[in-house]
């Protein structure tokens, strides 16, 4: 598996949410709006990349017996640091994501990649894996929240998390009477997720032809 | 053995490194997070101390747990955010108060409350605010009669804030005893028209009277025995007020305290059940008036505090409540001409209310009506006199 394939794998074939069904708890909970999805996705990408790099860097000196506690300490420190930075510089996003930031510590994507990839590969590969997987996660969140936000509010809004200014607002007001508020609840999250998971299963199980297309 | 030491040391080093990184990030972000928290509440703090520099203080010294946040306004005073549960147990009363550095309560703002509208909600009104603002930390604050539950809770919260202020400003604060409950004096001649007391039936000298207590509740019914213008016994036959709150007012103890009362007696309301107590007073009044052969329907008693219009030939007498007590006005009428007005009000303040008693009669005779200017500085007594005169004129027609 070359680096490029490795990087792209995170989007479809090994997409952590729809392909591997990892990190679903936070994905379902925070994918109510595009803002949350972007914030959470980038947050996870950052932590995942950093933790992959650190764990890869210390993989040779880490005693095998205590590797899991070491990974946890590394990940927890990164999450706590990111959490404090978010609280300081992106208070609105921090308030929206709430407890799910702290829960990144036990997000199985991160620990899973540390164990499955970073502990066996070099720093550069691990970083690429982290970015790829993180963006794959972000991409999944965006897909779910794109559907959910539109069905629940008949509009899409993207705001700048640093100063809360609206960057983009697309609203289809004629659909306003038809919005389905259920999609802002967990029921809507499961329905949306199930549809996408089915779609991805179809894509994944197609013969290699499809994959080559993706790779180009 | 060597292995174990290696593992322990490795994990310890990893832990120490991450702790170092975290404490660095914490140092970096803590002041910003703090400032943001303050900015969120600054708007409400500014109401109490405009333009001051605020910093947050710990509320650990607060033993009651009622004070949720404390702020210091640099050089000006302290602000306390307090939550207390009053009558509505689902939504606490949330208020902020400021205490100046010299120990004077300088501000009181209720942020949210969902107490009963018009009753417990009075703790958010100026009437209560004015009794709080300006008090020193060692002054006691009275609760509101008729809103005992809500105001007692608020006063407890204020006392908690005062105690915390004492600890933070280094001032000694007397431990306040339980909130002072002011018992207003009720007399059976007061106006209870709001209670709509009605004599339902009379059997010998036993009067069955209904009257409502707490607005909106169904009426309470009392069996009252009257002899020689005095109450012999009172029993509550139907209780329509709020269970658990109004009950003390109709307990045997409370009701037996009204035995012997006459229309001019002073009576005590049961604290915490003021509304129900007033329904008892209204019923007693109705029974006594009925016994005396007067109108029993409280609703027809038009004058807010005017009663007992006695008609004596061309001379009419009425009383109204002035500043210190009853003011009795006697008017001599010749047809519709006011010939003479005499005012007796020995409880009015000498030099103030008495001014009105001296000056108004002549003015009324001159104007031939109650439509004369009140004596400035003696408005309350003047108004009482004019009300009584108007009452007489209305009756004479």
Nearest to A74 among B10, B18, B30 (CB): B18
pLDDT at A46 (0 to 100): 92
* Cα of B7 to nearest chain A Cα, Å: 7
- Given CATH 3.90.1010, say whether it is the number of domain B54-169: yes
> What integer pLDDT is reported at residue B92 of this predicted model?
87
Question: Using CA atoms, how far apart are residues A123 and A52, in angstroms rounded to an integer?
Answer: 8
pLDDT in tens, chain B (397 residues): 788 898 899 999 999 999 999 999 999 988 888 887 777 777 778 878 887 778 888 887 777 888 888 888 888 888 888 888 888 888 888 888 888 888 888 888 888 888 888 888 888 888 888 888 888 878 888 888 888 888 888 988 888 888 888 888 777 666 655 555 555 677 777 778 778 888 888 888 888 888 888 777 888 888 888 888 888 888 888 888 877 777 888 888 888 888 888 887 778 777 777 788 888 888 888 888 888 875 444 444 444 444 555 555 577 888 888 887 888 888 888 777 788 888 888 777 777 788 888 888 888 888 888 888 888 778 888 888 888 888 888 877 6
Q: How far apart are CA B162 and CA B178, in angstroms?
A: 14
- How far apart CA B356 and CA B342 sit, in angstroms, is 12
Structural domain spans, chain B: 54-169, 186-300, 307-396
A35, A166 contact by CB (below 8 A): no
Inter-chain CB pairs, A–B, below 8 Å:
48
Q: Is-contact B79 B71, C-beta < 8 A?
A: yes
Chain B CA closest to residue A82: B25
Residues of A in contact with B18 (CB under 8 A): 73-74, 76-77
> What would the DSSP string read from start to end of B234-261?
EEEEE--S-TTTTGGGGSHHHHHTTTT-
Which of B10, B22, B33 minimises the CB distance to A88?
B33
The pLDDT of residue B306 is 47
Using the Cβ of A64 and the Cβ atoms of chain B, whether some distance falls under 8 Å is answered with: no
pLDDT given at position B304: 41
Average pLDDT over residues A44-73: 90
Same fold, B54-169 and B307-396: yes
The C-alpha atoms of residue B144 and residue A85 are separated, in whole angstroms, by: 49
Query: What is the nearest CA distance from A210 to chain B, expressed in angstroms?
Result: 44
DSSP B3-64: HHHHHHHHHHHHHHHHHHHHHHHHHHHHHHHHHHHHHHHHHHHHHHSTT--EEEE--TT-SS
Residues of B with Cβ-Cβ distance to A87 under 8 angstroms: 29, 33, 36
pLDDT at B309: 55
What would the two tokens of residue B207 be?
């009067």
Between CA B390 and CA B371 the distance in angstroms is 9
Centroid of chain to Cα A142? 9
B334 touches chain A (CB under 8 A): no
- What dotted CATH number matches B307-396? 3.90.1010.20
Interface contact A63-B6, CB threshold 8 A: yes
Confidence bin at A119 (pLDDT 50/70/90): confident
Which residues have CB under 8 Å from A6's CB, separation 6+? A125, A128, A129, A132
């Amino acid at each position: 598996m070359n680096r490029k394939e490795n990087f792209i794998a995170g989007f479809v074939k090994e997409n952590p949410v729809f392909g591997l069904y990892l990190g679903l708890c936070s994905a379902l909970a925070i994918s109510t709006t595009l803002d949350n999805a972007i914030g959470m996705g980038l947050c996870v990408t950052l932590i995942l990349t950093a933790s992959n790099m650190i764990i890869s860097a210390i993989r040779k000196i880490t005693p095998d017996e205590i590797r899991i506690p070491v990974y946890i300490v590394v990940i927890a420190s990164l999450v706590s640091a990111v959490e404090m930075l978010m609280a300081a510089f992106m208070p609105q996003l921090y308030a929206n994501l709430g407890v799910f930031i702290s829960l990144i510590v036990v997000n199985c994507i991160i620990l899973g990649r540390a164990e499955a990839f970073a502990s066996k590969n070099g720093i550069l590969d691990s970083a690429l894996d982290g970015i790829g997987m993180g963006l794959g996660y972000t991409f999944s969140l965006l897909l779910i929240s794109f559907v959910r936000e539109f069905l629940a509010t008949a509009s899409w809004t993207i705001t700048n998390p640093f100063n809360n200014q609206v960057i983009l607002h697309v609203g289809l007001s004629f659909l306003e009477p038809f919005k389905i508020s259920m999609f802002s609840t967990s029921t809507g999250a499961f329905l949306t997720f199930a549809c996408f998971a089915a779609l991805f299963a179809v894509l994944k199980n197609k013969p290699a032809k499809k994959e080559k297309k993706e790779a180009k | 053995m060597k292995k174990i030491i290696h593992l322990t040391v490795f994990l310890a080093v990893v832990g120490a490194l991450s702790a170092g990184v975290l404490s660095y990030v914490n140092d970096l972000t803590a002041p910003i997070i703090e400032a943001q928290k303050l900015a969120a509440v600054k708007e409400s703090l500014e109401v109490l101390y405009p333009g001051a520099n605020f910093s947050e203080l710990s509320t650990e010294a607060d033993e009651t747990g009622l004070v949720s946040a404390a702020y210091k306004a640099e050089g000006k005073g302290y602000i306390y955010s307090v939550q207390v549960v009053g009558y509505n147990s689902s939504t606490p009363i949330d208020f902020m108060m400021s205490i100046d550095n010299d120990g004077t309560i300088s501000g009181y703002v209720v942020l949210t409350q969902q107490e009963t509208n018009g009753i417990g909600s009075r703790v958010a009104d100026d009437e209560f605010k004015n009794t709080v603002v300006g008090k020193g930390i060692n002054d006691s604050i009275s609760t509101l009669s008729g809103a005992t539950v809500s105001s007692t809770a608020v006063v407890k919260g204020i006392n908690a804030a005062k105690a915390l202020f004492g600890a933070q400003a280094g001032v000694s604060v007397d431990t306040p005893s339980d909130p002072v409950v002011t018992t207003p004096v009720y007399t059976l001649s007061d106006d209870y028209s709001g209670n709509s007391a009605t004599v339902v039936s009379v059997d010998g000298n036993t009067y069955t009277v209904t009257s409502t207590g707490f607005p909106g509740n169904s009426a309470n019914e009392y069996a009252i025995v009257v002899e020689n213008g005095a109450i012999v016994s009172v029993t509550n036959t139907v209780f329509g007020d709020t269970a658990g709150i109004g009950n003390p007012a109709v307990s045997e103890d409370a009701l037996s305290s009204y035995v012997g009362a006459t229309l001019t007696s002073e009576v005590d309301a049961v604290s915490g059940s003021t509304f129900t107590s007033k329904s008892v007073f209204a019923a007693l009044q109705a029974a006594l008036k009925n016994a005396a052969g007067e109108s029993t329907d409280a609703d027809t008693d038009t004058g807010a505090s005017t009663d007992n219009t006695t008609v004596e030939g061309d001379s009419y007498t009425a009383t109204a409540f002035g500043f210190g007590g009853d003011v009795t006005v006697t008017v001599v009428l010749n047809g519709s001409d006011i010939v003479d007005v005499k005012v007796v009000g020995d409880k009015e303040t000498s030099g103030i209310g008495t001014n009105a008693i001296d000056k108004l009669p002549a003015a009324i005779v001159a104007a031939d009506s109650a439509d004369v200017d009140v004596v400035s500085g003696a408005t309350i007594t003047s108004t009482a006199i004019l009300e009584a005169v108007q009452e007489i004129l209305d009756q004479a027609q």
